Structure 1
Amino acid sequence: MLRSSKAGATQVQPTAPVPAQTIRFTTPVVETPGIFLLTGWLWRIIRALVLLPFQFPVSVAAVAVSVGAYLGFGWLGLAVLWTVLDLGLLVWWRRWPHSFKAHVALRVLATWRRFWIYRRHWQPVLVVSGLAESYLERQYLPQIRGVTCSAWADRVRVKLVAGTSPSEFENRVAELAHGFGAPSCRVEVRGPRDLILEFPRRDTLADPIDALSVPDDPQDVDLSGLPVGIGQDGEPWKLRLHGTHVLTVGVTGAGKGSVLWSAIRAMVPAIGKGTAEVWAIDPKRMELSYGRALFARYADAADEAVSLLEEAVSAMQERAERYAGRQRTHVPSVRDPFVVVVLDEVAFLTAYHPDRDIRRRAENAIATLTSQGRSVGFCVLAALQDPRKEVLNLRNLFPDKIALRLDEASQVDMVLGDGARDCGANAHLIDPDLPGVAFVKLEGSPVPVRVRAAFVTDTDIDHMAAEPAAAGVGD
């Protein structure tokens, strides 16, 4: 610091600070000897050749037999061998198409898609989606352990990198689906560091489903597995009512009526015989009123609806008192029929009705039925639009839940439970042009399943109501 005096004044002149010294550390670069690189490549080639017969036994055997035929009989022997093989495959395909598809076609498709779709795009898709891990400047990727194909989807078995969790894949199902060109992606955990990525090749639920046929014999009605639609795998979707309660949630036009009417339709033979009864509550007077002849009890006004619920509670308690100490499970019979309380727009009674006493009585009755009715043959099949707790705080009393098209992503976990959306249950993304498509969370099953309910027309309901009405079911 310099000091100067002028006219008796002292001025302080600041000086520029000394620039800080920059110290650079350089990491020494050590070149890997070529012998080590060559040894690594040789080890990979030998390992691949040793594992090849175990990974692709049919392909390796076909190549070995072909080489043996060529060496032993020349080109003529090879041509005869492949001609006989082609004829055998043709006969197999024409005579036993399902067996040929399972053992040949789908395996060939799985091999093709393993290398052309997944192996080829595996690294870029996982790196861009943030699923690649780095340590000491090395990149670690989950490994593909195998690919299998079903009639509608690819199942990619993956070995995780040590230290990662399946939740990282569950949080990126959208990125994986778009990265591999699939409509969706579902994650299934098989064990430690072992999971399955399921990629549908096409949407098997894009076409509407006509009302399913009604069994002729009441003995064929299985109340623990009523066929109400089709699952994404093409198998029948069977809804369990006996021994549980079901909550169906979806916005207007999502297809709640398809679920309700498909379940009622599957019970028609048992209704006609008297071993099953439907007690219906329809506050809108539009959805269930068309089939009143099918119902043993029916109510639409709020006070009548609450009275019906309280009658169901009384009947349930009377039956429980008779069963006490004598019977632990319910067997449907004419004396003690299986009773399904179908409750459409349950929020009208539990949240929207202006009379507080009506809301309180309805909530108490529903809570009693859902907490005590399973073992004595009473089931509540309820439909709802808004799944928030302030609308219906009894969601946890419904073991089985169905999520149709929803308004918000947060509502998926409200209906199906925490983590359902991470497993691929994107009910908020269901196309509005696909009514009846839903995700189902069954009691004891951690993975939601995509399904579609059959559409029951007014004409179907007329035919359903004909025989039960003649038998006096609705009297």
Structure 2
Amino acid sequence: MFKRLPGDEARNLVSTTPDTAVVFRPAVVTTPAILTIVILIWRMLAGLVRTAWRHPIAATVPVIPGAVWYVYGWPASASLSGTVVLALISWAFIDRPSFVRLVGYRLLAWWRFVWIYRRHWQPVMIVSGLGRHLKGRDYLPILGKVTCTSWADLVTVRMLKGQAVKDWSDRLDHLAQGFGARSCRVALASSGRLILTFPRSDPLASPMPALPIPQEATVGPVEIGRSEDGQPWRLKVHGTHVLVAGATGAGKGSIIWSVIRALLPAVRAGLVELWALDPKLMELSYGRDLFGERYAATPEECAEALEEAVSVMQKRAARFAGLQRSHVPTVKDPFVLVVVDEVAFLTAYQSDRGLRQRISAALATLTTQGRAVGVGVLAALQDPRKEVMNIRNLFPDKIALRLDESEQVDMVLGDGARDRGALADHISPVPELGAGVGYVRLETSPDPIRVRAAYVSDADIRAMAAPYGEAA
């Protein structure tokens, strides 16, 4: 059987042997030297303009002294350089925050762009499979702007045509190792553009002591810790429901008590009521005086408390119907926060089937109808499996502390959360390093945020229960 061979001589050569290779000299087109020079000069000028546009301060540093040297000579250039250096040093000592924000981070971004990212971009992209090497040519995602913050590098990337965010989220470990970072997270900035976050340090490595009790009464968002970017972590509790999941010793109590601590002035003012369900008789019992008659421990008491909260919710809904659509805390209609520690003990591990059904029905009613009339639920559990907590999707805001398995991250925060960098299964089990550290996924944003709750000790709980117990 005849087989036609490729190449510019294929139309003239025919072989009766299928595996015969024909070697021929391909046609060569000679490019004029002047065209090559023009292309190289154009690329060089475009690169200089792009660098000056992206990093104006770093580009100005060598240009101005060079221009002064050319016009006035080296003594004037040296004098100007010395004056500028002295001024920058003085600025750094006098007002370090503004110097770092306006100059330091820009210079650091330029240095890391040149030395870390652009230098290793091609090999990392090819080896990780995000780039392609076809017919002697590399097709690479385009490296954009690098922005430095106090703790991380934010790298803007334009994806190749046909790529998806999942292609990048599946290779976070490759990217982190390739650029020498501890971890990597990916977020979609706009169509075809990503922002890669490479942490340089961990601002959440050290435990936080209990935050001061606020001076003014507020129902939130309440400050309970710190976010990874160094900003205060404020958790919304009024107008939503919050689910906290974490293994034993992960720090669920830190979140619960930090929320209670931040709401104490509002409790004293009569704008908030705290209802506590403590089936384990361990966590919430330390501050029992804060809850007064709104404390339940046995399964029967917990069921009655939840049904009473449903009754309060339904009465408010009947009064608000046709008059208002959102709740404003008042002394007459305070915000009711139902705090449930280890909710799985009531919904899955309760041996009494009747009580289990009553509790599950009351919780489902509260989480579907309660937030519009000022009744919220803050629930904590260890096992996030659906057969243990089948109403977890009714909680708009979720917090994942240290978890035992990678699959549990998506169970708590939703599908794809771990691919976007919520590595709750990698949080250290050492209390000093990982207690209270977690990832938050809010109703308004699918991207997880890494946070750490302040640690409220037993002494802090007893100290705040004494003066505030009478107001509960």
Mapping 1:226-241, distance limit 5 Å:
226-241=222-237
* TM-score (structure 2 length as normaliser): 0.92
Mapping 1:347-386, distance limit 5 Å:
347-386=344-383
Shift of 1:137: 4.4
Stretch of structure 1 that moved more, 462-471 or 237-246:
462-471
- Work out which of the residue numbers 267, 271, 291 in structure 2 matches 1:271: 267
Q: Bigger radius of gyration, 1 or 2?
A: 1
Structure 1, unaligned stretches of length 5 or more? 1-18
Residue 170 of structure 2 is matched in structure 1 by 171
AA in 2 matched with 1:446: P
Stretch of structure 1 that moved more, 143-152 or 34-43:
34-43
- Residues 27, 236 of structure 1: CA spacing in aligned structure 2 closer, same or farther, 3 A cutoff? farther
- Work out which of the residue numbers 299, 303, 307 in structure 2 matches 1:306: 303
Residue 287 of structure 1 is matched in structure 2 by 283
Residue 470 of structure 1 is matched in structure 2 by 470
Residue 390 of structure 1 is matched in structure 2 by 387
Stretch of structure 1 that moved more, 281-290 or 166-175:
166-175
SS of 1:267 mapped into structure 2: helix
- Residues 30, 113 of structure 1: CA spacing in aligned structure 2 closer, same or farther, 3 A cutoff? farther
Q: Distance in 2 between matches of 1:91 and 1:66?
A: 20
Mapping 1:331-350, distance limit 5 Å:
331-350=328-347
Residue 130 in structure 1 maps to residue 129 in structure 2: yes
Residue 258 in structure 1 maps to residue 245 in structure 2: no
Mapping 1:146-165, distance limit 5 Å:
146-165=145-164
Residue 440 of structure 2 is matched in structure 1 by 440
* TM-score (structure 1 length as normaliser): 0.91
- Residues 407, 294 of structure 1: CA spacing in aligned structure 2 closer, same or farther, 3 A cutoff? same
Residue 238 of structure 2 is matched in structure 1 by 242
Stretch of structure 1 that moved more, 230-239 or 120-129:
120-129
Q: Distance in 2 between matches of 1:189 and 1:21?
A: 50
Q: Distance in 1 between matches of 2:436 and 2:281?
A: 21
Q: Distance in 2 between matches of 1:298 and 1:181?
A: 51
SS of 1:123 mapped into structure 2: helix
Q: Is the 8 A contact 1:243 1:375 kept in 2?
A: yes
Stretch of structure 1 that moved more, 135-144 or 454-463:
135-144
Q: Distance in 2 between matches of 1:96 and 1:242?
A: 39
How many residue pairs match? The answer is 451
Q: Distance in 1 between matches of 2:408 and 2:451?
A: 18
SS of 2:348 mapped into structure 1: helix
Query: 1:85-119: CA deviations, max 9, x gaps?
Result: 12221232223221111111111111111111111
Mapping 1:65-84, distance limit 5 Å:
65-84=64-83
Residue 14 of structure 1 is matched in structure 2 by none
AA in 2 matched with 1:424: G
Which consecutive segments of 4 or more residues in structure 1 shift more than 6 A?
A: none
Percent identity of equivalent pairs: 51
Q: Is the 8 A contact 1:404 1:427 kept in 2?
A: yes
Q: Is the 8 A contact 2:57 2:103 kept in 1?
A: no
Q: Distance in 2 between matches of 1:456 and 1:216?
A: 18
Shift of 1:380: 0.4
Shift of 1:262: 0.7
SS of 2:249 mapped into structure 1: coil
SS of 1:352 mapped into structure 2: coil
AA in 1 matched with 2:21: R
Shift of 1:352: 0.8
Residue 324 of structure 1 is matched in structure 2 by 321
Shift of 1:178: 1.7
Q: Is the 8 A contact 1:142 1:159 kept in 2?
A: yes
Residue 192 of structure 2 is matched in structure 1 by 193
Q: Distance in 1 between matches of 2:22 and 2:264?
A: 82
Q: Is the 8 A contact 1:272 1:467 kept in 2?
A: no
Query: 1:387-432: CA deviations, max 9, x gaps?
Result: 1111111011100000011111111111111111110111111111
Q: Is the 8 A contact 2:58 2:107 kept in 1?
A: no
Q: Distance in 2 between matches of 1:419 and 1:368?
A: 28
Q: Is the 8 A contact 1:183 1:203 kept in 2?
A: no
SS of 2:367 mapped into structure 1: helix
Q: Distance in 1 between matches of 2:52 and 2:468?
A: 63
- Residues 372, 117 of structure 1: CA spacing in aligned structure 2 closer, same or farther, 3 A cutoff? same
Q: Is the 8 A contact 2:57 2:107 kept in 1?
A: no
- Residues 52, 234 of structure 1: CA spacing in aligned structure 2 closer, same or farther, 3 A cutoff? closer
SS of 2:73 mapped into structure 1: helix
Q: Distance in 2 between matches of 1:113 and 1:327?
A: 54
Q: Distance in 2 between matches of 1:242 and 1:158?
A: 38
Shift of 1:31: 4.9
